[in-house]
Structure 1
Amino acid sequence: MICFNLMEIHMPRSLLQPTLALLVRLTLVMALSLPLRAMAQDLAPPEGEVLLTVSGEITQTNVGATAQFDRRLLESMQPVTIATTTIWTDGVQQFTGIPLIRLMRAVGASGHRLKATAINDYAVDIPSSDWVENGPIVAYLRNGAPMSVRDKGPLWIVYPYDTNPAYQGEVIYARSIWQLDRIIVE
């Protein structure tokens, strides 16, 4: 930490105010950049099987130019559980996963849409307007159990369909991609 007494600085009065303004700006820039540096250190590399790879317009990476997540990393990101019905399942289901907005913040996403792609190369576009609080999650558990590939897993983008009528339409259903394994932020 650098400390100095401004009263001991000897310079013409005409330079003192611009110099102080510059010091204040530099201090603010340094202070605002600390959370980004801390976040970068928090994105550890995966140790297990990679379930999701995020690339594109991101600032936080852990493997080359990508952010890769195994189950342990996903579970460490403050998961949430939502209860909702879907058009693909019977009755109310419990889905546990990472809110899409939290995942996008963790990777420092700066794009305007996601190209979400499944294991079989099926792809959908998800606009940044869907990255909202109480919006979709990247689910890795259904009714408390991991989802197999045969059961729409291991990852499924699930919207809280029952809590918002805007989530009950063909456009949103099409964005609810299962067997998700990669996202490109564009």
Structure 2
Amino acid sequence: MSGAALALDAPKERAILSITGKIAEKNAGDKARFDMKMIEALPQHSFTTRTPWFDRPVKFTGPLLADVLAAVKASGSQISAVAINDYKISIPVEDTTQYKLLVARLIDDKAIPVREKGPLFVVYNFDSATELRTSIYYERSIWQLKALDVQ
């Protein structure tokens, strides 16, 4: 069975991410909901990068945001990402193809507690391109991610 097929079973544990908007695959009414096991079932990627939030380079691991969007068959040009504290930022869908943009579930191979920016953290590999080391991309790196709305 493919990762995408697994991803849209109904969550068996507490849902940590909901996706709404222009999506074709749903598992909870008009939205797709994911628990951590569903996020773990998607292909996993890692990179180590410096960020403004840590005093040293850290390793992030999780699925690519592009793979999360593919799992729900998203079709749109903008993603509104919302954090647990209701911080909201818009991420262009083209960022998901242009950059290795992770929905990190691990930092330095450990689960991310809510009090330390978890459980999910959208992060760019800032060390991979000079243009990423600006406030535009730092602001798009949303921690404590709880929802995505594809427009």
| Band of TM-score, shorter chain | over 0.9
- 1:150 & 1:83 partners in 2: Cα distance? 21
Q: What does residue 144 of structure 1 align with?
A: 109
- Which of 119, 124, 129 is 1:164 aligned to? 129
Runs (4 or more) in structure 1 with deviation over 3 Å come to 39-42
Question: For the aligned residues, what is the CA RMSD?
Answer: 1.8
Give the aligned residue type for 1:156. Answer: F
Higher relative contact order (CA 8 A, sep 6+): 2
Distance 1:42 1:177 in 2: 22
Is 2:14 the counterpart of 1:54?
no
Task: Specify every segment of 5 or more residues in structure 1 that has no aligned partner in the other structure, as ranges.
Answer: 1-34
Once the two structures are TM-superposed, the CA of residue 105 in structure 1 deviates from its matched residue by 1.0
Identity of aligned residues (%): 36
* 42 and 150 in structure 1: CA distance in 2 versus 1, 3 angstrom threshold: closer
Query: Which secondary structure does the structure 2 equivalent of 1:131 belong to?
Result: helix
Shift, 1:133, TM fit: 5.9
Contact 2:45 2:64 in 1 (8 A): yes
Distance 1:113 1:153 in 2: 23
Match status 1:81 vs 2:14: no
Distance in 2 (CA, whole Å) between partners of 1:45 and 1:143 is: 29
TM-score when scaled to structure 1? 0.76
| Partner secondary structure for residue 51 of structure 2 | coil
Distance 1:133 1:126 in 2: 12
Q: How big is the shift at 1:121?
A: 0.6
User: How many correspondences in the alignment?
Assistant: 150
Contact 2:7 2:39 (8 Å CA) reproduced: no
Question: Do the aligned partners of residues 69 and 42 (structure 1) sit closer, same or farther apart at CA in structure 2, a change above 3 Å counting?
Answer: closer
Secondary structure at 2:69 match in 1: helix
* Larger helix proportion of the pair: 1
